[in-house]
Every structure is written in C-alpha cells, then in structure tokens.
Structure 1
Amino acid sequence: MSGLCRILGMGPGDPELITLKAVRLLAQADVVAWFAACGRPGHARVIADAHIPETAREVRFDYPFTTGVSVDDPRYLVEMTAFYDRCAQSLAEELDQGLQVALLCEGDPFLYGSAMYLFDRLSPGHRCEIVPGISGMSGCWSAAHLPMVHGDDVLSVLPATLDEESLSHWLSRGDAHVIMKLGRNFAKVRTVLHRCGRHEKAIYVERGTQAGQVCLPLDQAPEKAPYFSMVLVPGRRRVR
C-alpha cells in the first residue's frame, strides 16, 4: 500500500501558532522532512521541534542556493528544478514503502511555500494531504496591530523581486498591499513606495511572531532587511 504525504503548515514562527491538526498528524509520521538553507537549522524544523516524534527519521533538504543566484539567472530555474526533482524522488521512495511522511513548511504551504513544488511532483502518483498554516503575512499584521482591509478594499500580495515598473503598477491598482521577499530588494521597495506616495502608512515587520520581532514605520526601518521580513501597506480605513 502506498504511504501518505502530509504537507503541514507550521505557521509564521511562534510555535504556539501551529494548528492542533498539524501537531496531531506530525506525531504519526514515520519520516519528517523539511527545507533549509545550507548551514541553517531550517525555520519550519525549528518551529516543529517539540512535536517531532523520537521514532521518526528526519530528512533535510538543503537548497542549492537562496539569495546567491538571481531568479533571472538561467541557472536558477535549471538548478532549482533539479533540486525539487531530487527531493520529490526521495520522498516518493519513502511513500512507496508505505510510510507516513510529514513535509514541514513555514507559514501556509500553498502561499509561496517550497512544499508546493513537491506536491506538484508527488500528487499525480501518491496520496497527499495538505494542512493549512497561519500565513506569515497574517502573523505580521497581527504582530503590528495593523488592520489591513475594510469593506470592499482590495488586497494584493507582491513579491519584492518584481521590477520597479511592475511594483509601481500593482501598488497603484489595489488598496492594501503585502510586500514579501524583501532581502536585497528592500531599497527598491522603499524607492517605489515613496514614488507612489504609499510610504507614510507603510509598516516594516521583521521576524513577525518570532523572537527578535521588529515592527516599525517604513521610514524608521533599518537599511537592510532579512529574509523573514515584509512591508505592510494598510487599506483605506473607511468609516465602519
């Protein structure tokens, strides 16, 4: 009998924000897998630490690179595709033995989660179950005490990796915005928000719900932003 791959959302960082369902299913796993940058412990693994069964075998997937190669570099697609192929094959071998696999993913698995790429490869031939998690963005706007959308406000979620023209285009179309994947794109995001006149109400959140959390107005934010950071631009705040 084929095993079952459960892709478990681990939430934004605070271990108390893991769902009861994710904790229950994690306890049943024969194999626990997660992604990590080389030399780092793996964010999802850190969040799940207290709930990983002692009997489970752990499988770590080290990204070939994180910020070292631009998404525009031809090598990025080739090497990341090969990486996800290898990861999926590794889990497929476990599933073919009838084992229960838990694949951990920070935030929600289907919102910019690496686990999506393994789901795409595994789901045609293996049973998969998805357990949603509290997203990083909802963790951040809650940490910042920032109501984001009211009434018929339109919310957009923008990757900071977009070029300046594309960012400007989307910022001019919606009411509220979440800008993710800051890192080395932060200076560009600042420039565009100022150009669009959306900087005054923008809030910078770093490591939302985690130890070392920082919430600041954009103009008071540090010059550099780590991976786990985002900018929140609230909507119109109409009468309510």
Structure 2
Amino acid sequence: MSGKLYGVGVGPGAPDLITLRAWRLITGAQVIAYPAPDSGQSFARSIVAGCLRKDQIEIPIVVPMRVERFPAAQVYDEASENIVAHLDAGRDVIVLCEGDPFFYGSFMYVYERLSDKYDCEVVPGVSSIMTGAAVSGIPLAARNDVLTILPGPLPDDELTERINATDALVIMKVGRHLKRIRDLLNELNLLDKAIYLERVSLGEQRTMPLADMTDESAPYFSMITIYKGAEPWIDTAKMNVTNHD
C-alpha cells in the first residue's frame, strides 16, 4: 500500500503554537519534507526542530528566495518526485508549511501534483494574521464588517480600489513594498489607522503604528492591519499599541 501525504501547518513561528495534531504527526513521521531557501536555514523546519528525530528522513524543497522569476514549477516537480518515491515505498510523508498550508502556503503546489494519486490530508495551522491580531490586541473585524486580505505586491490602483471597498484589511507580503504602501495609505488618510507587525510570535517580534515605522523595507514575514469599521473601541485599542522594537 502507498503511504499517505500530509500537508501540516506549523504556525507563524513560535513552536508552542504548533497544534497537537501537527505535533503528533511530526513526531511520529518517517519522512519530513519542508520548504527551504537556497541559502540559510528552513524557517518551517526551525519551528519544529524540537520535534524532530535523528532517524527521520528529511527532504528539503529548495525554493530560491529572490525577486527575479525562477522555474518554480520545476522545483515542485522535482520535490514531488522525491516524495512519490517514499509514498510508493509505503512511507507516510509530512510536508511542513509555515502558517496554514492553504493560506499562501507552499504545500498547495505539492497537493496540486499528488492529491489525485495518493491519499492526502491537510492539517490546518495557526495563521500569522490571527496571531498578529492577538499580539497587537486589536481585533480584525466585528459584527458585519468585511475583512479583506491583500498581497503587498499588488499595484497601487488595485490596492486603492480594494482598500476603499472594505471595512478592515490585512496587507501581507509587505517586504520591499513597505515605503510604497505606507505612502499610499498616507494619501488615503489611513496611516493613523494602520498597525505594522513583523515576525509575530517570535523573539524578534515588532509591533507598532505604521506611522512610526520609518524603514524603507521590511522582512518577508511582515504585515499591516487596518480597521475602518464602526466599532469605536477598536480605535481605542489602537491607541494602546506600543512600539515593541
């Protein structure tokens, strides 16, 4: 019989935010696969390092961390072939994914290639968005508010249209787009409602009003939250956000 493929969310970074189900699967697995940069350590692996055993087989899925385009399809084709070899040998394979596998998660590209051929289960993880709301003490949305999640690389005109159409929003993948996004929010008179969050749940976490963030760029694991809805107590909560620099 073939092994089973698991896509396991490992949360935003703090090891104690791994779910019990994820922990059980990871500690019992024979084969662990995870995304890894072409230089430096894998963030997903670092989250679960305390769960791993020396006898487990590891499959790094090396994804270049760079701005220019690279053959992503080839990366996931090769990774899937490596995973298939273990599945066909009857070994279950756990594929780690930061945050949640189906929320901007790299696992979905393995799932796309293998889920119609092998038994597959997706194990949800704690999202950085939910963690960001928790660490900032500011709710994301209330009552009938519409919450919109936007990728930072979107062009200004599309960001503006979507920002104007929602009550609350989270801008992900801020990175090198930080200054452009901050300038845009200033033009939209929303800078005073924006909260900047970086590396949430980790020791180097930073949380502050976006107006206080003067850097030109930000790490990949950063986001901006904005609330425009009708709940006044959320505005009061914003006033209590301090600069955890």
Is the structural similarity TM-score above 0.5? yes
Q: Secondary structure at the match of 2:13?
A: coil
Find the counterpart in structure 2 of residue 46 from structure 1: 46
Residues 53, 235 of structure 1: alpha-carbon distance in 2 compared, 3 angstrom cutoff: farther
Alpha-carbon distance in 1 for matches of 2:143, 2:195:
21
Q: Secondary structure at the match of 1:140?
A: helix
Report if the CA contact (8 A) 1:155-1:175 is conserved.
Answer: yes
Alpha-carbon distance in 2 for matches of 1:120, 1:237:
40
Q: 1:93 pairs with 85, 94, 107, which one?
A: 85
How far the C-alpha of 1:132 sits from its partner, in A, is 0.3
Q: Secondary structure at the match of 2:100?
A: coil
Find the counterpart in structure 2 of residue 204 from structure 1: 196
Question: Greater CA deviation, 204-213 or 32-41?
Answer: 32-41
Q: 2:99 pairs with 92, 102, 107, which one?
A: 107
What TM-score does the superposition give when structure 2 sets the normalisation length? 0.91
1:140-159 to structure 2, matched below 5 A, reads 140-159=132-151
Report if the CA contact (8 A) 1:18-1:134 is conserved.
Answer: yes
Report if the CA contact (8 A) 1:182-1:227 is conserved.
Answer: yes
Query: Which amino acid is the alignment partner of residue 107 of structure 1?
Result: G
How far the C-alpha of 1:237 sits from its partner, in A, is 4.3
Query: Which amino acid is the alignment partner of residue 108 of structure 1?
Result: D
Q: Secondary structure at the match of 1:27?
A: helix
Alpha-carbon distance in 2 for matches of 1:211, 1:32:
26
Matched, 1:123 2:115: yes
Query: Which amino acid is the alignment partner of residue 194 of structure 1?
Result: N
How far the C-alpha of 1:127 sits from its partner, in A, is 1.0
Report if the CA contact (8 A) 1:26-1:102 is conserved.
Answer: yes
Query: Which amino acid is the alignment partner of residue 7 of structure 1?
Result: G
Report if the CA contact (8 A) 1:35-1:62 is conserved.
Answer: yes
Matched, 1:2 2:28: no
Q: 1:138 pairs with 130, 133, 152, which one?
A: 130
Matched, 1:228 2:221: yes
The number of residue pairs the alignment matches comes to 232
Alpha-carbon distance in 1 for matches of 2:84, 2:65:
24
Q: CA RMSD, aligned part only?
A: 1.3
Report if the CA contact (8 A) 2:193-2:228 is conserved.
Answer: no
1:140-219 to structure 2, matched below 5 A, reads 140-219=132-211
Find the counterpart in structure 1 of residue 55 from structure 2: 55
Report if the CA contact (8 A) 1:27-1:53 is conserved.
Answer: yes
Matched, 1:16 2:16: yes
How far the C-alpha of 1:239 sits from its partner, in A, is 6.3
Report if the CA contact (8 A) 1:8-1:22 is conserved.
Answer: yes
Report if the CA contact (8 A) 1:204-1:215 is conserved.
Answer: yes
Q: Secondary structure at the match of 2:192?
A: coil
How far the C-alpha of 1:172 sits from its partner, in A, is 0.5
Q: Any unmatched runs of 5+ in structure 2?
A: 234-245
Q: Deviations over 1:62-120 (max 9, x none)?
A: 11x22331xxxxx44xx011111111111111111110111000101100001111011
Alpha-carbon distance in 2 for matches of 1:152, 1:59:
44
